[in-house]
Chains A and B, each alone.
Chain A
Amino acid sequence: AQSVTQPDIHITVSEGASLELRCNYSYGATPYLFWYVQSPGQGLQLLLKYFSGDTLVQGIKGFEAEFKRSQSSFNLRKPSVHWSDAAEYFCAVATSGGSYIPTFGRGTSLIVHP
């Protein structure tokens, strides 16, 4: 079965600084990978997804993620963080081994200082 790890529970950055949120997965074959964002008291919104092809994926709100098979990682990046980016971020992985039902990481809480 697949698993996904987000090693950072909280990340604090200053507004305007760059951001990288880590995500590692465990699965033998190529997975389907997703990043979602959740604002307080709301549902999750899809930021970007990777299925195949170009390993650098562009998403909404200026986010991008890079799939690195050798490191089993799918880290989320943004070159300049805005205060409105403060939220909870979830990485998810779906695989044929799990009947393609996504498994979510525990999330990383992003705090943005002015």
Chain B
Amino acid sequence: SQTIHQWPATLVQPVGSPLSLECTVEGTSNPNLYWYRQAAGRGLQLLFYSVGIGQISSEVPQNLSASRPQDRQFILSSKKLLLSDSGFYLCAWSLDKNQPQHFGDGTRLSIL
């Protein structure tokens, strides 16, 4: 069966520090991969999605970036974190764009 792993579960970072969140999927090939941010009391904001290795689509211009170095690995990065980057970050995968998404357990990012 397919599984998705996302780490770390929680992270506290100072303003201006770099960021790297990692997500890996097991049990499937060539999944569509997604990064979302969820602010308190709000829905999910799609940040990036990828339909293949090296293919990244950005939905919201910001100081975050994403990379897909391997088929089942999706990384969210930042060179310098802002206070506004705080939130709950969720990685998800799907078999195709119109198929249900399967979510990781999320990373709670706090910026100090």
A residues at B contact (CB < 8 Å): 9, 32, 34, 36, 41-46, 49, 51, 90, 94, 99-102, 104-107
The dominant DSSP class at the B interface is: loop
CB contact under 8 A between A105 and B105, given known A34-B100, A43-B90, A94-B97? no
State in angstroms the CA–CA spacing of A44 and B91 once bound together.
10
Interface residue tally on B, bucketed by range: 20 to 34
30 A–B contacts, CB within 8 A, in A order = A9-B41, A32-B98, A36-B103, A41-B106, A41-B108, A42-B105, A42-B106, A43-B90, A43-B92, A43-B104, A44-B44, A44-B90, A44-B92, A44-B101, A45-B103, A46-B101, A51-B98, A90-B43, A94-B97, A94-B98, A100-B96, A100-B97, A101-B46, A101-B59, A102-B101, A104-B43, A104-B44, A105-B43, A106-B42, A106-B43
Query: Which B55-112 residues have C-beta < 8 A from chain A?
Result: 59, 90, 92, 96-98, 100-106, 108
A99 to B97, Cβ gap below 8 A?
Answer: yes
Inter-chain pairs besides A41-B105, A42-B106, A101-B97, 5 sampled, C-beta below 8 Å: A90-B44, A99-B97, A102-B101, A104-B44, A106-B41
Which B residues form the contact surface with A (CB < 8 A)? 6, 41-44, 46, 49, 59, 90, 92, 96-98, 100-106, 108
Cα–Cα, bound, A57→B109 (Å):
36
In the complex, chain A residues whose CB is within 8 Å of the CB of B106: 41-43
Q: Give the CA-CA distance A44 to B6 in the complex, in Å.
A: 13
Interfacial chain B residues near A34, Cβ < 8 Å: 100
User: Could you tell me the distance between the alpha carbons of A10 and B102 in the complex, rounded to whole angstroms?
Assistant: 25
Q: Which 8 A-B pairs have the closest CB atoms?
A: A43-B103, A100-B97, A100-B98, A106-B43, A104-B44, A44-B103, A104-B43, A46-B100
Closest to A34 in B: B100
Contact between A101 and B100 (Cβ–Cβ < 8 Å)?
A: no
Residues of B within 8 A of A90 (CB): 43-44
Which of B43, B96, B106 has the most C-beta atoms of chain A within 10 angstroms of its own C-beta? B43
